[in-house]
Amino acid sequence: MQQTPRGGRTDKAQKPAERDNQLTSRRVWERQYVDRLRVTDVVVVIGAVAAAQFIRFGELQVDGAKAFAGYSGVSLALALLWIAFLSIFRTRSPRVIGNGAEEYRRIVSATFRLFGVIAILSLLFKVDIARLYLAIALPVGLVGLLTSRWLWRKGVSKQRSNGKYQTAVLIVGSRKAAVSMAKQFERSPAAGYSVVGMCLPGYEPDRDAVFLDGSEIPVLGDEYSVVEAIEISGADTVAVTATEHLGTKGIRKMIWDLEKKSVDLVVAPGVVDVAGPRLVMRPVAGFPLIHVEKPQYNGAKRFSKTAFDIVFALAVLLVISPILLVTALAVKLTSRGPVFYLSERMGIDGKPFAMIKFRSMVQNADRQVTSLLAQNESEGGVLFKMRDDPRVTKVGKFMRRFSVDELPQFFNVLRREMSVVGPRPPLRREVETYDGEVRRRLLVKPGITGLWQVSGRSDLSWEETVRLDLSYVENWSMVGDLLIIMKTVKAVAGSDGAY
């Protein structure tokens, strides 16, 4: 069977004009996208400030009318400063838009720093600004900005799923590292990184090829053939990984060559599943070294996570209380046995606890596991999964499809046994098989949802579940937790990977 080169290319060479057109096309859509973000940012900020002014000073009384007119200048200044802060903090940089949490983090940082500056100035110069006015503008504007960016991201993801808004990437590095990077790009189509070629050390013409999911990624030369490979592949970004073959001089020369062609260069640090604030660039003895900080699980971060968990769990339980009551009645009236099922799980530091779920199986279903082990559909064999488990009741199938059976776990959150977001809560028999690496999952509380929940749920293999859990443990942050919660709502509504 003949393999098709990735990206649909069948020709070996590409004219420089064609590559220039592709590069121009990328610059065009990026510029257009940034312009649209700028427009929506202005609309959201003006709308938030206007709403705050109208709600606080929009009364029809004479005093209210005077205050409304007097605050028009304040509102104009606040809107201009807000828009300026969004630009100063580069919230519309092509480097962060459309993927990852950094775009949201910059918006939150810019907004809170602006209001912090306003608070300091009002205190120093004794300017009395109505507190309710600011208390309305801040949350309305922040929620509006984050929501608008999320909606724009949905549009970008749709375009990228249709093969548009792509970044053509040429990977340079050792074969193993290059293939690993290509697989990561393949797993994250929303990032828009399309691998169009590779440059591998020890390249042998007409004998070297890389295949990924049935498609061929052309190998266009060795690590010193990057410029020629760019002309052939049409790449607008070069991704370098495992750079020991190039050395300092080789990387420096590559940077100078790519600057002339307006091609971006990204370098993978070679640290698996470590990112974000844990990576700090520090110049040491003239070398730009990347320091990997230890993950922080204690102190202020743990306190803020616990506080968020309790407040969020109380709010959710208050909202879903009618659903809990209806579900409890449905379970009780349709099958024999208790309403709740207490499943022993291993929590933080390997301490066991009883995880609360609505009973979705027949009574004493645990005793039937041994007879069903031969039908286990889990790839790794550590987990037990069956798409059509005969022990699941009719009501249980509905509950599992929409994750209703997991709602009582918010009581576990209040008991501080679980977190809203975290690694998947493991069984004792799973923990007994853990090696030293996998046991790092137990450094934080298990979660009701997590990366595993929004990345395929029951469709994931054991290895992929472990990789996602370890990635969460190594890099967790409050912004990341909020993004996972938003994605969970989408995953549950679509019943993705649930059975």
Q: Tokens at residue 465, please?
A: 């579940």
First to last CA, the chain: 36
In angstroms, how far is CA 20 from the centroid of its own chain? 32
- Per-residue pLDDT of the chain in tens (499 residues, 90 and over written 9): 344 444 433 344 444 445 455 555 677 888 889 999 999 999 999 999 999 988 887 753 434 445 555 678 888 999 999 999 999 999 998 888 877 778 898 999 999 999 999 989 888 887 778 888 889 999 999 999 999 999 998 888 888 878 788 888 999 988 888 888 888 888 777 778 889 999 998 887 766 778 877 788 889 988 888 999 998 888 888 998 876 777 777 888 888 888 888 888 888 876 555 666 666 666 666 666 666 666 666 667 788 889 999 999 999 999 999 999 999 999 999 888 899 999 899 998 889 999 999 998 888 766 666 666 656 655 555 555 666 777 888 898 888 888 899 999 999 999 999 999 998 888 888 888 887 677 888 888 999 998 877 776 555 666 777 778 888 887 777 878 888 888 888 777 765 545 4
43: Cα within 13 Å, side-chain hemisphere: 10
Rg value, the chain, Cα: 27
Helix ranges (DSSP H) in 58-174: 62-88, 102-124, 131-161
Closest CA to 140 of 53, 214, 268, 222: 53
Gap between the Cα atoms of 490 and 47, Å rounded: 27
Gap between the Cα atoms of 99 and 490, Å rounded: 17
Contacts of 462 (CB under 8 A, 6+ apart): 378, 379, 380, 381, 382, 383
3-state DSSP of 336-395: CCCCEEEEEEECHHHCEEEEEEECCECCCHHHHHHHHHHHCCCCCCCCCCCCCCCCECHH
In angstroms, how far is CA 368 from the centroid of its own chain? 38
Gap between the Cα atoms of 499 and 490, Å rounded: 16
Gap between the Cα atoms of 349 and 298, Å rounded: 13
Closest CA to 217 of 231, 227, 229, 225: 229
pTM exceeds cut of 0.85: no
The full set of domains in the chain, from first to last, is 21-161 (no CATH), 166-268 (3.40.50.620), 299-493 (no CATH)
Q: What are phi and psi of 385, to 5 degrees?
A: -135, 135
What is the structure's pLDDT at 13? Answer: 45
What is the structure's pLDDT at 86? Answer: 95
Gap between the Cα atoms of 389 and 375, Å rounded: 9
Q: Tokens at residue 74, please?
A: 């304040």
What is the structure's pLDDT at 61? Answer: 40
